[in-house]
Amino acid sequence: MNSSQSKIFGIGLSKTGTTSLARALEILGYKTRDYLGISRYSAGDLSSINLDEINSNDAFTDTPIPSFYKILDQEYPNSKFILTTRDMDGWLKSCKKQFTQKQADKQNTASNLLFMDLYGCTVFDEQKFRCGYENFINDVLHYFKDRPQDLLILDIAAEEGWEKLSPFLGRPIPETPFPKSNVTQIRWMKINDIIDIARLAGQEILTAYELIQANRTGRGKHSTRRSGPVRSLLEKTSYMVRGGAAGIQKAARRKAYNIIIKRLKELNSGIPVISPLSGTVPYSQRSKWNHFWLVDPLDGDTWLHDSESVFTVNIALIEDRKPNLGVVYAPSLDITYYATSGNKAFIVKSGDTQECSGPHNKSGRVLFEAQKKNPASMSKALMICLATEGKTDSAPPMADTMEWQTAGAHAILHCAGMKITSHTSGKELTYNKERLDNGHIIIE
């Protein structure tokens, strides 16, 4: 065959930052395929790879590319090779988590044969994986020992990135931070933990809401926790001492925020937070963040004056400026929307979980009608989430939104097959912009 078209081959083994490299190559403008996979395997036989994919793309990472780098070098002259590496302990720990018997049973025969060639086993064995890794690295270094210009060794886990990759490929360094995708500890976080945090914080807001509504009416009918037609004198006194409705709402918002921050740090202390209550972080600092939380402990605060107002607690994890997971919880309605990247979006109403896939959900219809009557009374996040139930007209083009209002709902919307775009650029909304307001946004 001997194609004259040069390519970029990421030849690092799985769990060495191959997904991060793929995203970095995409940012640099290369048409990239991560993890081609294989349907048949024969060592040294290039027909094991889908060559149509090779010929129609610019760059490649992960299985099965590392197993065929020598023959790919021969068939695609003048190509560049990138060997992603990682400290042994971290790599072994990640492999132990990933390459279980369950995973081996799910893999096809070809993939298991490839694993046997690399490691001498299909299920994680520390000694065999250690030897396989060391033998592979040494083999690559020996093969390219007289061609250093064709091989880049990149340790993404050790913070190596654009400063090495861009010059190697002759591309300018992008302004965006180097992607850190598929970070093991972050991937291990459970969406149910985030849901629990949102609900716990939401109860603080709900308590304040019930107290304010009960005080407004002079009756306890708005409160699900209090009995009797009239609140006690002690409760009335407490209400006034705490600063009335505005003071109670402010205090509840701060307490909810503190709960969220404490619990998120317990899950992963290394992920920073952006929130209307977190204080200003200079863009020069936060622009380098690959992962961060966007938190709004109270989205929709018109219930100081409107008893029908619907408010939410919003939590989103941003990865490389895109929402990776999102939770939007409406405490007064006991409704939770949630989604994680690569999965479906769901709504939970009073313990009943449904996929966000159409306007069949009763709660969605009720909320939709309420929002049409008074759109200002509903949180921005909830307005967006309504679109995931098949009501694309239920969240009209919006202005005056902040990143913490849209991010969680954006993650949910994305998993339901939709997107939020900027009216100005026409591109999908991204996060951690220099200005944290979104401008005019459109749901598609």
Same domain, 80 and 25: yes
How far apart (Å, rounded) are the C-alpha atoms in residues 281 and 278? 8
Output the pTM of the full model: 0.68
- 389-405: per-residue pLDDT in tens? 765 444 456 788 999 99
Same domain, 86 and 217: no
Residue 171 has pLDDT above 90, yes or no: yes
Tell me which of 57-61, 205-209, 296-300 is least confident.
205-209
Same domain, 241 and 170: no
* Spatial CA neighbour of 37 closest among 53, 58, 56, 17: 53
How far apart (Å, rounded) are the C-alpha atoms in residues 216 and 218? 6
Same domain, 367 and 238: yes
Same domain, 147 and 272: no
Contact 124, 107 (CB under 8 A): no
pLDDT at 128 (0 to 100): 98
Percent with pLDDT over 90 in the chain: 61
Same domain, 202 and 303: yes
Q: Is residue 3 part of a domain?
A: no
Residue 239 has pLDDT above 80, yes or no: no
Overall average pLDDT of the 349-365 stretch:
65
| 308 vs 104: which has the higher pLDDT | 104
pLDDT at 145 (0 to 100): 97
Q: Is residue 327 part of a domain?
A: yes
Overall average pLDDT of the 273-279 stretch:
94
- Looking at residue 429, what DSSP letter applies? P
Among candidate residues 132, 163, 182, the one where a domain is terminated: 182
How far apart (Å, rounded) are the C-alpha atoms in residues 191 and 171? 38
Question: What is the spatial order of strands in the sheet that 312-319 belongs to?
Answer: 273-274, 291-299, 312-319, 322-330, 335-340, 345-349, 352-355
Overall average pLDDT of the 71-100 stretch:
95
Helix/strand/coil for 151? strand
| 226 vs 124: which has the higher pLDDT | 124
Number of other CB atoms surrounding residue 300 within 10 Å: 23
Same domain, 178 and 265: no
Contact 299, 353 (CB under 8 A): no
Q: Is residue 2 part of a domain?
A: no
Q: Is residue 197 part of a domain?
A: yes
State how far Cα 354 lies from the chain centre: 21
Same domain, 272 and 321: yes
How far apart (Å, rounded) are the C-alpha atoms in residues 343 and 2? 40
Same domain, 215 and 157: no
Q: Write out the DSSP string of 159-182.
A: T--HHHHHHHHT-PPPSSPPP-TT
Same domain, 205 and 254: yes
Q: Which domain holds residue 285?
A: 186-443
* Spatial CA neighbour of 11 closest among 56, 62, 50, 55: 62
Q: What are phi and psi of 387, to 5 degrees?
A: -65, -25
What total number of domains does the chain contain? 2
Contact 66, 115 (CB under 8 A): no
CATH number at residue 141: 3.40.50.300
Contact 256, 204 (CB under 8 A): yes
Residue 63 has pLDDT above 90, yes or no: yes
Among candidate residues 160, 182, 204, the one where a domain is terminated: 182
- 208-228: per-residue pLDDT in tens? 888 888 777 665 444 444 443
Same domain, 271 and 134: no
How far apart (Å, rounded) are the C-alpha atoms in residues 177 and 349? 38
